[in-house]
Amino acid sequence: MTKIRVHEYAKKVNRTSKEVIEELGKLNVNVTNHMSMLDRDATSKLDQRFGKGGSTPSDKSAGQDHKQSSRPASNAQDKQRRGDSPAAQGQQRPSQSSQGGNRPAQGQQRPSQSSQGGNRPVQGQQRQGQGSQGGNRPTGQQGQGSQGGNRPTGQQGQGSQGGNRPAQGQQRQGQGSQGGNRPTGQQRQGQGTQSGNRNATGQQRPSTGAQGGNRPATGQQRQGQGTQGGNRPAQGQQGQQGQQGQQRQGQGGGGRPAGRGGRPPARGINQGRRRHRPAPMPKVEKPLPEKITFYESLSVGELANKLGREPSEIIKKLFMLGVMATINQELDKDAIELICADYGVEVEEEIRIDVTDLEIYFEEDEVVEETQTERPPVVTIMGHVDHGKTTLLDSIRDTKVTQGEAGGITQHIGAYQVEVEGKKITFLDTPGHAAFTTMRARGAKVTDITILVVAADDGVMPQTIEAINHAKAAEVPIIVAVNKMDKPSANPDRVMQELTEHGLLAEAWGGDTIFVPISALKGEGINQLLEMVLLVAEVGELKASKNIRARGTVIEAQLDRGRGSVATLLVQDGTLRIGDPIVVGNTFGKVRAMINDLGRRVKEAGPSTPVEITGLSDVPQAGDRFVVFEDEKTARQIGESRAGEALQEQRVEKTRVTLDNLFEQMKQGEMKELNLIVKADVQGTVEAMAASLMKIEVEGVNVKIIHTGAGAINESDISLAAASNAIVIGFNVRPDVNAKRAAEEEGVDIRLHRVIYKVIEEIEFAMKGLLDPEYQEKVIGQAEVRETFKVTKIGTIAGSYVTEGKITRDAGVRVLRDNIVIFEGELDTLKRFKDDVKEVAKGYECGITVKNFNDIKEGDIFEAFVMEEIKRA
């Protein structure tokens, strides 16, 4: 190599002229400036100094950096690079970072000031280890590594961490493409800037020490911070940094409004500090309770509250169990137990006793064995219509109830007691008519023994089977009374035979059912039957305690004009006394007077005794439970609350729509309804009537009983009927004067009856009448089109000849062409010559126009038809 100028050489070795001049100075080669010529000797010395490639060994990395970097470093940087070991720099940089408030003075050197800084090298190493988080590249080696191309030298990398961001400017540029991939690195830059160093060092946005310290642990947090920070410096420095700024903006763009870039440094510091706030302490979870209790169910929120956990945690757990739940979702017992088991918390379901539920007083086991004594059996007589139930009861009581009955059918329900061999037996008089099925079912609940009356001449009939089923369902023993044995046609064997098919095998045939042949009419076999009743009762060990507060069931109830609400009660346990505070069904009161089955006033009634009481606030229903309470206040409270609940239930029932009945209700929307108000002399009859009426089945019509009640038909019944277009049915009752007048005024239909089947028959007719009439088409005649005339404004007039039947003006018409219906509609005009006529008979000519149809041709046939109403069967 010949002579070369200093600047040429510097260029060759990729150094600045100044560096070369300095180096020459060290080599004692005097040069004046960058234009000075270097001789061969000086050049070879420099070559040795800078190495063949133009770099000194110690400066290798810097050299590379220069090559890779697009931006020349300042002298200071050069010096730094050359003079400081990477490690030292590493230490320096971090320290500067955070407490970057000092940085203005640091210039590019960023001396280590912060105690945190001391950590950095370590962090730096950690970061290296993290590899892809390249923002950490603190070391020179890393910088020289494969990532070197993107990043400035390791030193620069360190610089960036340590706050030596002058180099970062280059870094960022160099990193360019990396930027997008390295949120971490970018973030750090951003943070640094925030630290308030912006002003001081322009390019040097040192990273914050605290963050530096946290980084390894909180990679994600840093990202967040970085994102924010990234904006500010970028904006503040955009002018200076060009690409860098943009890059940062791009990186941090989502984080902040652009305007913030202009914030004063002080604010930046504050924010920087804020960001340095240690991560929020993990929430200290409340200790779990050992046990939680619940009643019926808990919502997710409530359960979370009880467990002292966040509802979201519970929702998550449920989700893991495959249940999607919201905070308000009710959890059932199983779900609660499952969740609590997961937490290891014990669960207990609270059982609250509903004092208003009268059934619980029947289940109560307060009865002590010793205090119990034998009680009379309660017997129900069941059987098919006319098989002799009433006659049998008469025979037993020696009373002729049958004679006084309207229509010969038992309509009242009562209870009576008889004494046989010094032992009492209570009989419930349950009528055999199908209308009383409901009552019978209720009756079976209080029944100990059933006497099944089967007429020996008639055998097993539908209601016999029904009675057997009721008794079996109630697990009540059956004694079969084969009645009418006095009749010549009596065939007891046939009865026994037929009953075997229904599971009743006579003792005589190896079974365990007692069969007693009787003649109710003649009073034969009655004693034997009663003996059997006592025997079965004995086997059943029927016991009750006399010394407890009474409880039992309503046999029937009615409203008496003079006495008010009157109820026949069967005391099933305990003793009922006058003055007892009592809740009966949804009513309550104090037992004012008690009358036994013989019409005598009594002061108390023991187990299995039927008594009629007065003193109730309202009329209860047959089958209702009654319970005596210790004081009137309690009775009143419970009674009132039950009445309220009942009312509520009634309302809910009316409006309730469930998925199950939705379709049903929709169907009902198309149905017609027959509204009824049923009044009868006793409550039992009212119920039975209502049940029978509800059973009436006429397609397309629904029976709706809107009101029932015991007692005379009154004005309010009429006004209700008028308002709801209902028919009032009075059974064994009459309307009072006011009701009569009101009914006449309002045009309300009152039907009065004494025999139950007549009511049902009549209502059935009424329902059939309610249906829309059914129509059937009837062809009344045919006419043939002989000629057509087209008349403006009128259309086509068909000159026709009636070939069959007649054509009427109001008939429907079909136009047939080659026996194919081409139009169906109405006749418009029908004329004979020029006159409009109502009908034209066979054999006559006429002019016909058809409404909305003019395409009539010769040879077409008009078929006239009418819709005829057909009577329902």
Ligand X SMILES: Nc1nc2c(ncn2[C@@H]2O[C@H](COP(=O)(O)OP(=O)(O)OP(=O)(O)O)[C@@H](O)[C@H]2O)c(=O)[nH]1
Q: How many CB atoms lie within 10 A of CB 577?
A: 15
Q: Is 399 annotated as a binding residue?
A: no
Restricted to residues 130-169, the positions that interact with ligand X (CB under 6 A) are none
- The string of DSSP codes covering 719-752 is HHHHHHT-EEEEES--B-HHHHHHHHHHT--EEE
Q: Is 573 annotated as a binding residue?
A: no
Q: Is 429 annotated as a binding residue?
A: yes
- When the beta carbons of 185 and 432 are compared against ligand X, the nearer one is 432
- When the beta carbons of 154 and 383 are compared against ligand X, the nearer one is 383
Binding track over 521-550 against ligand X, x by CB under 6 A: x-----------------------------
Stretch that binds ligand X, among 480-488, 592-600, 766-774, 790-798 (CB under 6 A): 480-488
- When the beta carbons of 267 and 487 are compared against ligand X, the nearer one is 487
- When the beta carbons of 428 and 798 are compared against ligand X, the nearer one is 428
Q: Can residue 486 be called a binding residue for ligand X (CB under 6 A)?
A: yes
Q: Which of 20, 21, 42, 409 binds ligand X (CB under 6 A)?
A: 409
- When the beta carbons of 396 and 520 are compared against ligand X, the nearer one is 520
Q: Is 270 annotated as a binding residue?
A: no
**Under 8 Å between Cβ of 490 and 456:** yes
- When the beta carbons of 259 and 488 are compared against ligand X, the nearer one is 488
Stretch that binds ligand X, among 197-205, 425-433, 658-666, 840-848 (CB under 6 A): 425-433
**Under 8 Å between Cβ of 378 and 426:** yes
CA distance 560 to 852: 70
Which residues on neighbouring strands pair with residue 109, listed in sequence order?
Answer: none
Q: Can residue 484 be called a binding residue for ligand X (CB under 6 A)?
A: yes
Residue with token string 């059982």: 351
Least CB distance to ligand X at residue 298 (A): 54
Which residues on neighbouring strands pair with residue 727, listed in sequence order?
Answer: 676
Q: Which of 87, 288, 385, 712 binds ligand X (CB under 6 A)?
A: 385
CA distance 159 to 309: 47
Q: Which of 109, 122, 98 is nearest to 159 (CA)?
A: 109
Q: Which of 187, 417, 519, 685 binds ligand X (CB under 6 A)?
A: 519
Q: Can residue 99 be called a binding residue for ligand X (CB under 6 A)?
A: no
- When the beta carbons of 518 and 705 are compared against ligand X, the nearer one is 518
Q: Is 387 annotated as a binding residue?
A: yes
Q: What are phi and psi of 617, to 5 degrees?
A: -75, -25
Q: Is 433 annotated as a binding residue?
A: yes
Least CB distance to ligand X at residue 755 (A): 11
Least CB distance to ligand X at residue 401 (A): 9
Q: Can residue 733 be called a binding residue for ligand X (CB under 6 A)?
A: no
Q: Can residue 520 be called a binding residue for ligand X (CB under 6 A)?
A: yes
**Under 8 Å between Cβ of 577 and 591:** yes
Q: Which of 226, 431, 607, 639 binds ligand X (CB under 6 A)?
A: 431
Per-position b or e across 276-294, b if 16+ CB within 10 A of its CB: beeeeeeeeeeeeeeebeb
Q: Can residue 23 be called a binding residue for ligand X (CB under 6 A)?
A: no
Q: Please list, in sequence order, all residues whose beta carbon lies within 8 angstroms of the beta carbon of residue 396, skipping any fewer than 6 positions away.
A: 418, 427, 526, 530
- When the beta carbons of 385 and 780 are compared against ligand X, the nearer one is 385
Q: Is 389 annotated as a binding residue?
A: yes
- Count of residues engaged in binding ligand X, rule: CB under 6 A: 21
Please name the amino acid found at residue 510.
Answer: G
Q: Can residue 412 be called a binding residue for ligand X (CB under 6 A)?
A: no
Least CB distance to ligand X at residue 396 (A): 12
**Under 8 Å between Cβ of 693 and 760:** yes
Q: Which of 80, 83, 76, 16 is nearest to 50 (CA)?
A: 16
Taking the chain, what is the end-to-end CA distance rounded to the nearest angstrom?
133
Q: Is 658 annotated as a binding residue?
A: no
What H or E segment, with its residue span, contains residue 195?
Answer: none
CA distance 250 to 248: 5
Least CB distance to ligand X at residue 725 (A): 34
- When the beta carbons of 98 and 391 are compared against ligand X, the nearer one is 391
Q: Can residue 752 be called a binding residue for ligand X (CB under 6 A)?
A: no
Please name the amino acid found at residue 849.
Answer: T
- When the beta carbons of 455 and 643 are compared against ligand X, the nearer one is 455
CA distance 309 to 340: 11
The token pair at 161 is 């961490």
Residue with token string 């690079």: 81
Binding track over 590-619 against ligand X, x by CB under 6 A: ------------------------------
Restricted to residues 355-384, the positions that interact with ligand X (CB under 6 A) are 383
Q: Is 483 annotated as a binding residue?
A: yes
Residue with token string 């001391």: 118
Q: Please list, in sequence order, all residues whose beta carbon lies within 8 angstroms of the beta carbon of residue 350, skipping any fewer than 6 positions away.
A: 293, 294, 295
Q: Can residue 479 be called a binding residue for ligand X (CB under 6 A)?
A: no
Q: Can residue 432 be called a binding residue for ligand X (CB under 6 A)?
A: yes
Q: Can residue 470 be called a binding residue for ligand X (CB under 6 A)?
A: no
Q: Which of 102, 483, 587, 608 binds ligand X (CB under 6 A)?
A: 483
Q: Can residue 387 be called a binding residue for ligand X (CB under 6 A)?
A: yes
Q: Which of 19, 59, 302, 386 binds ligand X (CB under 6 A)?
A: 386
Q: Is 25 annotated as a binding residue?
A: no
Q: Please list, in sequence order, all residues whose beta carbon lies within 8 angstroms of the beta carbon of residue 274, skipping any fewer than 6 positions away.
A: none
Helix-helix angle 683-695:756-770, to 10 degrees: 40
Least CB distance to ligand X at residue 395 (A): 8
Q: Which of 402, 641, 716, 829 binds ligand X (CB under 6 A)?
A: 402
Stretch that binds ligand X, among 191-199, 426-434, 630-638, 788-796 (CB under 6 A): 426-434
Q: Which of 390, 447, 614, 800 binds ligand X (CB under 6 A)?
A: 390
* Dihedral, 303, 307, 311, 315 alpha carbons, nearest 10: -70
Q: Is 383 annotated as a binding residue?
A: yes
Stretch that binds ligand X, among 21-29, 124-132, 427-435, 544-552 (CB under 6 A): 427-435
Least CB distance to ligand X at residue 492 (A): 12
> From its phi and psi, is residue 557 left (phi > 0), alpha (psi between -120 and 50) or beta?
beta
* Dihedral, 257, 260, 262, 268 alpha carbons, nearest 10: -150
Burial class (CB in 10 A: 0-12, 13-18, 19+), 546: middle
Q: Is 276 annotated as a binding residue?
A: no
The token pair at 492 is 């007891």
**Under 8 Å between Cβ of 651 and 744:** no
Q: Can residue 388 be called a binding residue for ligand X (CB under 6 A)?
A: yes
Least CB distance to ligand X at residue 353 (A): 42
**Under 8 Å between Cβ of 382 and 470:** yes
- The string of DSSP codes covering 422-454 is TEEEEEEE---SGGGHHHHHHHHHH-SEEEEEE
- When the beta carbons of 452 and 783 are compared against ligand X, the nearer one is 452
Q: Which of 64, 170, 171, 391 binds ligand X (CB under 6 A)?
A: 391
Residue nearest to ligand X (CB): 432
**Would you say the C-alpha torsion 162, 167, 172, 178 has a positive or negative sign?**
negative
The token pair at 849 is 């126009």
- For 353, how many CA atoms within 13 A lie in the half-sphere containing its CB? 8
Angle value at C-alpha 102, between 96 and 105, nearest 5 degrees:
105
In the three-class reduction of DSSP (H, G, I as helix; E, B as strand; rest coil), residue 174 is classed as: helix
Least CB distance to ligand X at residue 382 (A): 9
- When the beta carbons of 238 and 527 are compared against ligand X, the nearer one is 527
Least CB distance to ligand X at residue 409 (A): 4
- When the beta carbons of 302 and 394 are compared against ligand X, the nearer one is 394
Residue numbers at the binding site for ligand X (CB under 6 A): 383, 385-391, 402, 409-410, 431-433, 483-484, 486-487, 519-521
Annotation: binding site for GTP? 383-390, 429-433, 483-486
For the annotated binding site, the residues are: 383-390, 429-433, 483-486
